[in-house]
Amino acid sequence: MHVWPKTVPTLGIMLIAVVAPCADAADIFRGQTVYETHCASCHGTDGGPLMPGTPDFAMGDGLEKPDFQLIRTVKAGSNLMPGYDSIISDQEILDAIAYIRTLRR
């Protein structure tokens, strides 16, 4: 008879904690709305920048960073971009990031 070590239940809980965030996968359609509302006036509707010094999303500029780092940048702001911490939720930012990645040519 095989007896499982006490660490097995703990491992299961850890795996659930790692997998659980996938339940809130990004929605590019909601992301498009967020992008058009908050981002397109500077970053362009097609990802081509309208303001000098703005990343060219159509060329993939700035999108090589992990999502958590991009969320942090949007919340805090960067250069001329204001911070959106109290304006857009993390999920909305994640949705917008997913949409922005579709703009790459």
pTM, entire model? 0.75
Dump pLDDT digits (tens) for 61-89.
999 999 999 999 999 999 999 999 999 99
Dump pLDDT digits (tens) for 28-50.
999 999 999 999 999 999 999 99
- What Å distances lie between residue 99 and 16, 29, 41, 75, CA to CA? 27, 7, 16, 17
Architecture per CATH, domain 25-101, reads as Orthogonal Bundle (1.10)
Backbone dihedral angles phi then psi of residue 81, each to the nearest 5 degrees: -75, 125
Q: Where are the domains of the chain?
A: 25-101
DSSP 50: S
